[in-house]
Structure 1
Amino acid sequence: MILLIRSLFKQVRKPVLAYAIGTSLYLLMLALLYPSMMKTGLLEAKLEALPPEVLKAFQYDKVTGFENVLDLLGGNYYGLIFQVIASLFLLSLAARLVARPIDNGELIVYLAAPITRNAYTFAVAIVMGIASIVLVGLNGLVLMVSDWWMTDISINDVILWRIQLNALLLLLAIGAFTLFVATLFDEERRAFSLAGSVLVLSIVLTILSELSDKTEWLRYLSVFSLFNTTQLLEGTNHFLLHSILLLVLCLVFLTGAVVQFGRRSLSI
């Protein structure tokens, strides 16, 4: 199992590091620019100039009074941007590890060895989990280093890692869903299209829920409602509930992936 996990992770190592390093550099840039942006008032002026609909789409709950860099990142990264990154990140992993090997017949090489379908599914799930930990962990470490390095950022470590944990659970839930969808089809294109369509719909529902009080209920049809940065920054009691629900979704889809992949007939 360990050799299988190492082999699978080696296949996705480059894209995982690209996502993790790329997003971390973006966070580092925002953290380094934050003090000067607050002193000049440039950021607040630009945000106030944007239409309210645009701000709501990017989930900016306030455009003034940023107390620390996490308030800025709540809308500038841990909102719509993170939803898109999370979707693309896990769709690409599921495609590389499951959908593509089924489509091109590569999976027969693994199954010809003493590797069961359940073992392969669990190995893929573990690799996707490790990839998610690398992404979230590096993001958090970069922000912590920024806080130690500079004096005007004022990051609360408890809130920071609460956000990172919630983000990790969101990635695990989406990863389990994309893995489940990847086990449904023999063609990579069909698996990618279905999973991608569901995730795009979830993002659209989240955006629409922000545009009016009448459409606010649409948020609860999207998995991204379980990662609410505003509530995390305010320290509300939704963190535990959202974490439990994300963990349940992860287990449900992972179980579905194991059962589906174990019973289906593969055309390889």
Structure 2
Amino acid sequence: MNTALYKHMVKTQAKTIISYSVGSAFYIALIAGVYPSLADSKAINHYLQQLPDELLKVFNITGMDNLLEFIAGEYYGLLFLLIGSIYCITAANQLMARPIDRGSMAYLLATPNSRRTIAFTQALVLLTGLAAIVILTTAAGFAADAWLVTNDSLDRERFLQINVIGFLLFFAISGYSFFFSSTAHDEKRALSLSGGITILFYSFDLIGKLAEKAEWLRYGSIFAAFEPGKIAQGQVEWLPVSLLLFTIGVLGYTAGIGLFAKRDLPL
């Protein structure tokens, strides 16, 4: 790792990292804050009971029996996925594909640092931002539970499991996004490949949840590895899922760094 480059790129990405982190923290605090007023609502509970099981599965809604199940469905089932996925795709593009496409990567390569060192440093910047988002989100969840919710206590262990597996999901997404950003011929192609595959994965998971006959499609989606509602209920074996997502992320980053070190860059 090149320390000077790392500090410079973190500073460059600071506004983006802060905006995503604060946005994620705000949403989870907001959702936790409204839970007490909804928890005792018979109308809301009755409405949830009338919804089709397929629709509840799509948004990972398992009920309103406790705060963790509520935020698992209302936040981690969709908003968290959107915020993290968009950050992974756009940050990888800004750190690798854009400098290559616009020629500014040549200035970095002119320094006495190997290509592997530069790519590895950019990968660490991406992961630093991702870690900041998840850590601040986790901290906001604990703070909201302590300050805004008085009649319920957050299951800390399962809440941490949701966030750790969520981080590993984004680690996997950022891994293949980094790979495409390191190897694509231009910025638009890298963005379209990363975004397209992420949308395809999400579509497979969505269709698999909606149609029982198409449930096999979920085996082709990394989003199927993240089920916050089931984690909240203690129905997920977190170790195999974590190892799978970690492996995908490591392969993506390793391949991206390796191929970037060997590829011919456009002049």
Task: State the alpha-carbon separation in 2 of the partners of residues 230 and 39 from structure 1.
Answer: 20
Structure 1 105/222 Cα, relative in aligned 2: closer, same or farther at 3 Å?
same
Root-mean-square deviation over aligned CA pairs = 1.7
Residue matched to 1:172 = 171
Q: Within 5 Å, give how 1:37-186 maps onto structure 2.
A: 37-48=38-49, 54-60=55-61, 62=62, 64=63, 66-149=64-147, 150-186=149-185
Task: State the alpha-carbon separation in 2 of the partners of residues 46 and 98 from structure 1.
Answer: 47
Q: Deviations over 1:44-71 (max 9, x none)?
A: 35545656554443232x3x4x222211
Secondary structure of 2:141's counterpart equals helix
| Structure 1 residue 138 displacement after superposition | 0.6
Deviates more, 1:77-86 or 1:142-151: 77-86
Structure 1 4/56 Cα, relative in aligned 2: closer, same or farther at 3 Å?
same
| Structure 1 residue 26 displacement after superposition | 0.8
| Structure 1 residue 237 displacement after superposition | 5.0
Q: Deviations over 1:21-57 (max 9, x none)?
A: 1111111011111001112335335545656554443
Letter in 2 for 1:258: I
Alpha carbons 1:34, 1:69 under 8 Å: kept: yes
TM-score, structure 2 length as denominator? 0.93
Q: Deviations over 1:101-121 (max 9, x none)?
A: 111111111111112110111
Letter in 1 for 2:183: L
Q: Within 5 Å, give how 1:13-52 maps onto structure 2.
A: 13-48=14-49
| Structure 1 residue 255 displacement after superposition | 1.2
Residue matched to 1:234 = 233
Q: Which runs of 4+ in 1 moved over 6 A?
A: none
| Structure 1 residue 87 displacement after superposition | 1.7
Task: State the alpha-carbon separation in 2 of the partners of residues 260 and 31 from structure 1.
Answer: 44
Letter in 1 for 2:7: R
Q: Deviations over 1:219-248 (max 9, x none)?
A: 110011111213311223520000111111
Residue matched to 1:188 = 187
Alpha carbons 1:12, 1:96 under 8 Å: kept: no
Task: State the alpha-carbon separation in 1 of the partners of residues 50 and 225 from structure 2.
Answer: 30
Residue matched to 1:12 = 13
Task: State the alpha-carbon separation in 1 of the partners of residues 50 and 71 from structure 2.
Answer: 19
| Structure 1 residue 79 displacement after superposition | 1.6
Secondary structure of 1:94's counterpart equals helix
Structure 1 46/26 Cα, relative in aligned 2: closer, same or farther at 3 Å?
farther
Letter in 2 for 1:212: A
| Structure 1 residue 92 displacement after superposition | 0.9
Secondary structure of 1:199's counterpart equals helix
| Structure 1 residue 204 displacement after superposition | 0.6
Residue matched to 2:263 = 264
Secondary structure of 1:244's counterpart equals helix
Q: Deviations over 1:175-202 (max 9, x none)?
A: 1110001012231101000111000001
Alpha carbons 1:98, 1:183 under 8 Å: kept: yes
Secondary structure of 1:210's counterpart equals helix
Alpha carbons 1:27, 1:139 under 8 Å: kept: yes
Aligned residues: 265
